[in-house]
């Protein structure tokens, strides 16, 4: 434990207690190198832990103890996101003569994997800088390990919780994190560190009267009546037969909604203190 605090203290000396500037610089470098646009926020580890499902609390504690020696109560979770390029979102569920243009839709499936990989590389670099560990964009699963949606729960610490608590986005009606600038067309990863970094506050929910995602998906529209709508969502994604278990119709609906239509070309100002890459 003392070693952890000693490591934290020396890192604080290196970075300055509240200075995230070098982390922002590294994130900017990574996103520029990859031709991506990103967002970064910081949440309190203790609050993130409290908000997780019990099975995910156990997982976070286990990894923290393995990687840091303990779960630092005043530590931080850095939430990073990369945005899908617009042409990728436009490729989702494009109607064709006999259904959907699946070749175009697979562009989204490929980019989904590419963003996950970019996030994992970026998160690993930031984790090294802050003496922490990265939680990958999506858990590594063995063939056949995911049969039902609930099988994901013990394998992954939710990125949605730190994303909401750090102001990277609010929880939309489609249950995804909705960023003020990029809507829900983002992928997320997290970095846990013992450093008490300056937090970025949560943002207000801005869905307003919009229900475009609910109109785009009967599963979402009926989520309160279904036993576990994520199960129905998973079955639908599998039925598409794309390279990854993805769909994205609710993401595209959000990007095309009145809330974001204009903002796809006229980005809003930064909300809530999060850091946006250029
Ligand atoms: S991913 Fe597709 S099936 Fe799942 S909630 Fe969104 S629109 Fe519905
Ligand atoms: S489509 Fe509209 S209601 Fe759904 S998450 Fe986006 S802004 Fe919110």
Q: Is 75 helix (H, G, I), strand (E, B) or coil?
A: coil
- The pLDDT value recorded for residue 239 is 94
Listed by start position, the domains of the chain span 2-206
246 lines ligand 2 (CB under 6 A): no
DSSP assignment of 11-30: HHHHH-TT--HHHHHHHHHH
169 lines ligand 2 (CB under 6 A): no
- The pLDDT value recorded for residue 153 is 72
Residue nearest atom 4 of ligand 2, based on CA coordinates: 213
The predicted-structure confidence for 99-157, as pLDDT tens digits, reads as follows 999 999 999 999 999 999 999 999 999 999 999 999 999 877 777 776 776 777 777 89
The predicted-structure confidence for 204-235, as pLDDT tens digits, reads as follows 998 999 999 999 999 999 999 999 999 999 99
Residue nearest atom 2 of ligand 2, based on CA coordinates: 210
Question: 266 C-alpha to center of ligand 2: Å?
Answer: 18
Show the DSSP H helices in 36-166 as ranges. 45-51, 54-68, 86-90, 102-129, 160-165
Residue nearest atom 3 of ligand 1, based on CA coordinates: 233
HSE-up of 160 (CA within 13 Å, CB side)?
16
Ligand 1 neighbours (beta carbon < 6 A): 216-217, 219-220, 233, 236, 247, 249-250
Tokens of 17: 């207690």
- The pLDDT value recorded for residue 2 is 40
Cα-flanking dihedrals φ and ψ of residue 43, to 5°? -120, 160
- pTM of structure: 0.90
């Amino acid at each position: 434990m003392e070693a952890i605090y000693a490591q934290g203290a020396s890192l604080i000396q290196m970075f300055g207690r509240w200075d995230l500037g070098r982390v922002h610089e590294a994130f900017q470098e990574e996103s520029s190198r990859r031709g991506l646009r990103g967002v970064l926020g910081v949440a309190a580890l203790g609050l993130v832990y409290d908000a997780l499902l019990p099975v995910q609390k156990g997982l976070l504690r286990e990894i923290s103890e393995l990687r840091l020696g303990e779960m630092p109560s005043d530590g931080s979770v850095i939430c990073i996101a990369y945005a899908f390029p617009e042409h990728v979102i436009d490729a989702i569920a494009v109607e064709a003569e006999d259904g959907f243009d699946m070749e175009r839709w697979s562009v989204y499936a490929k980019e989904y994997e590419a963003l996950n990989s970019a996030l994992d590389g970026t998160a690993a670099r930031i984790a090294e800088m802050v003496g922490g560990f990265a939680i990958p964009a999506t858990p590594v699963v063995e063939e056949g390990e995911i049969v039902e949606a609930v099988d994901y729960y013990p394998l992954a610490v939710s990125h949605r919780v730190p994303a909401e608590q750090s102001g990277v986005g609010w929880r939309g009606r489609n249950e995804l994190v909705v960023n003020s600038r990029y809507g829900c067309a983002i992928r997320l990863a997290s970095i846990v560190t013992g450093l008490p970094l300056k937090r970025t506050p949560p943002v207000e929910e801005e869905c307003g009267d919009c229900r475009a995602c609910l109109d785009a998906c009967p599963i979402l529209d009926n989520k309160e009546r279904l036993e576990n709508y994520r199960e129905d969502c998973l079955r639908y994604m599998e039925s598409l037969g794309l390279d990854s278990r993805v769909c994205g119709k609710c993401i595209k609906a959000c990007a095309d909604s009145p809330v974001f239509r204009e903002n796809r070309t006229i980005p809003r100002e930064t909300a809530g203190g999060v850091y946006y890459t250029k």
